[in-house]
A and B are shown apart, each in its own frame.
Chain A
Amino acid sequence: MAISSLAPRTEAVDVSRPGIERKTGKAPVKRHVRLSVLGLLVPATAVIGWEAASRLGWLDRTIASSPSEIVVEIGHLLTTGQIWVHLWATFVRVFSGFALGGAIAGIVGALAGMSPILYRLLNPSIQAIRSVPSYAWVPVFILWFGIFETSKILLIALGAFFPLYLSLVSSIRSVDRKLVEVALVNGFQGWSLARRIFLPASLPAIFVGLRQSLGLAWMFVVAAEFMGATHGLGFLLIDGQTTGRPATLITSILLFALCGKATDGCLAWVSERALHWQDGYRPNSPEARSE
């Protein structure tokens, strides 16, 4: 009897598409669309109500603005090309700060995670710095690094550092001992052990940390641009406030929401692709996916 013929044929596994979850059929897609529409109901009603209230004179236009004014404001920013200048300025700050803070968090977090001595050496100080409220750094950074880009990017980097550092350290320290043993008996050590076991095992936590870091980078950019900027979405906020233009203020807030959501969506997309092997609870129902 050939050895291969002993292979159990009865163990039922979906052979149709290895590695990829099966897509939902046609009917659930329709349902998915219906449910998305349901999610738009509240904001749509709010916008219509807001517009109506402002036209009927129930709201003070100089404070509350109105959806139509905001559309006009966006149109104005688009036609003059101003919107791209502000968006670009803010994006450059967010991503330089995020990249810098993320890179340092990656290196320090990996070292502190892998080496108990470095963990004891560094972690208490880092935790202490973490508990300083973010705005407390603004005057310090202005004094140390001036009011230009350096202090802004460093402030954002500081904000982006902590979430990634924390999740990296805790995930490395909780990597399954059993998998490490498998690598050890197969001759993996040092760098190859880190690359083949610790990195992939902590990848889920790294992605969570990256997304939180990016979120904090978007928060810190507002603080940074309040320090004094001539361009950027934060500048637009200050500008709208000082010149009494609520439409500008709200436009800026809308743009923040859009940018934050879009960049986080990109990271989430990459993370889902990179972590397809995870055996987590993954409901196929459209309700849970449509968030």
Chain B
Amino acid sequence: MARRLPSELARSSFGIANSKWKKPSVTRCYHCHVQLAIGYWLLAIPKELKASSMVTIDKISKSYGGDVSVIADLQLSIKPQQVTVMVGTTGSGKSTLLRVLAGLERPTSGGIRWDSDHGGNGRPNLGIVFQEPRLLPWLNVRQNVEFGFGPAGHRRSAELANEILEQVGLRPFSLYYPRQLSGGMAQRVAIARALVRKPSLLLLDEPFSALDALTRSRLQEHLMELFVKHSLTLFFVTHDIEEAVALSDTIVVIKGRPGQISHQFRIDLPRPRSRHDQAFIVWKERVLEALTE
């Protein structure tokens, strides 16, 4: 088995017909040794390079009613356990892309490929946080969080709901109803609701844009702690450049109408990031330039 695996890898990577290599171990010719060598070499490649994306967005276009194209031929891959932030002006189609990822809308053309390591077959477990908290007003905080378990998983997970409520600091407010919460608290409930799903990809659609500056930066810090703690993969859509630089591993700039990706930046600033740092400010300016040029 241990010997067969590299040769299989080699086969698949070179697209050689399977039938020819059914039983390589009986009489091994010169070719076989070459194949084996390449196979072992492939095995030696670090895992994060091989499984380099958890989802690949493949030439996605979306238009409404034929003429009005919102996004066109978008090509992007989201890397696992990283924060990918998409910045763009209003109307550039960044929310549309997120809705397509979440399965709430079908792309007009193109497709989404989920890496099988992360989600098994097809769509992996997704969590989503919208711009508004979107809490169900007839459920209290705890029930809203448990709503994230979906239709089947109510009983199994009271413990997990408690744990996550504790992590977002809302355990004492379990019995409150949404109308009794402030905007920041409500958005933390929404984050908790997405987290109890143990999402392999967490989508966030301008989640903090309706909050005041202080609450926003506090929740950003909080989100990063949860990101580390749960080793999450984040895809974060925002129009706030500072937020993008503060959170991201990769910044994707989308602009135009229909929206297209114009730049991708890799932000390698160490965390936690100080907004007064020279490097931070430089990055902000570069992204702003990319957006406005």
A interface, CB within 8 angstroms of B: 3-8, 11-15, 18-19, 178-179, 181-189, 192, 196-197, 200-201, 203, 276-279
Given known A-B contacts A3-B226, A13-B173, A184 and B134 have beta carbons under 8 A apart: no
B176 contacts A13, CB within 8 Å? yes
Given known A-B contacts A3-B226, A19-B140, A186-B197, A11 and B170 have beta carbons under 8 A apart: no
CA distance A240 to B54 in the complex (A): 83
Residues 23-45 of chain B, each 1 if its beta carbon lies under 8 Å from chain A, else 0: 00000000000000000000000
Q: B residues within 8 A CB of A201?
A: 138
B170 contacts A278, CB within 8 Å? no
CA distance A265 to B60 in the complex (A): 57
Residue B235 lies at the interface, judged by CB distance under 8 Å to chain A: no
B182 contacts A13, CB within 8 Å? yes
B150 contacts A188, CB within 8 Å? yes
B interface, CB within 8 angstroms of A: 102-104, 126, 128, 130, 132, 134, 136-140, 147-152, 166-173, 175-182, 184-185, 188, 193, 197, 215, 218, 221-222, 225-226, 229
Given known A-B contacts A3-B225, A18-B175, A185-B103, A8 and B137 have beta carbons under 8 A apart: no
CA distance A183 to B128 in the complex (A): 11
Q: B residues within 8 A CB of A192?
A: 151
Q: List 22 A-B contacts (CB under 8 A).
A: A3-B222, A3-B229, A4-B166, A4-B167, A4-B171, A7-B169, A7-B170, A8-B169, A8-B185, A8-B215, A11-B185, A14-B180, A18-B180, A185-B104, A188-B150, A188-B151, A196-B147, A197-B136, A200-B136, A277-B137, A277-B138, A279-B179
Q: A residues within 8 A CB of B130?
A: 178, 181-182
Closest to B222 in A: A6
Q: A residues within 8 A CB of B185?
A: 8, 11, 13
A179 contacts B178, CB within 8 Å? no
| Smallest CB separation, B262 vs chain A (Å) | 29
| Smallest CB separation, B11 vs chain A (Å) | 38
| Smallest CB separation, A206 vs chain B (Å) | 13
Q: A residues within 8 A CB of B148?
A: 186
Closest to A4 in B: B169
B179 contacts A277, CB within 8 Å? yes
Given known A-B contacts A8-B184, A279-B179, A185 and B140 have beta carbons under 8 A apart: no
Closest to B228 in A: A3
Given known A-B contacts A6-B222, A203-B138, A279 and B169 have beta carbons under 8 A apart: no
Given known A-B contacts A6-B169, A185-B128, A19 and B147 have beta carbons under 8 A apart: no
Q: A residues within 8 A CB of B126?
A: 185
Q: B residues within 8 A CB of A19?
A: 140, 175-177, 180
Q: B residues within 8 A CB of A189?
A: 151
A182 contacts B169, CB within 8 Å? no
CA distance A155 to B259 in the complex (A): 60
| Smallest CB separation, A1 vs chain B (Å) | 8
Closest to A17 in B: B175
A184 contacts B104, CB within 8 Å? yes
Q: A residues within 8 A CB of B147?
A: 182-183, 186, 196
CA distance A7 to B170 in the complex (A): 8
Query: Given known contacts A4-B171, A183-B147, A188-B151, what 9 new A-B pairs fall within 8 Å (CB)?
Result: A3-B168, A3-B169, A14-B180, A185-B104, A188-B150, A189-B151, A196-B136, A276-B177, A277-B178
| Smallest CB separation, A272 vs chain B (Å) | 14
Q: B residues within 8 A CB of A179?
A: 134, 136
Q: B residues within 8 A CB of A186?
A: 147-150, 193, 197
Closest to B131 in A: A178
Closest to A183 in B: B147
CA distance A192 to B154 in the complex (A): 13
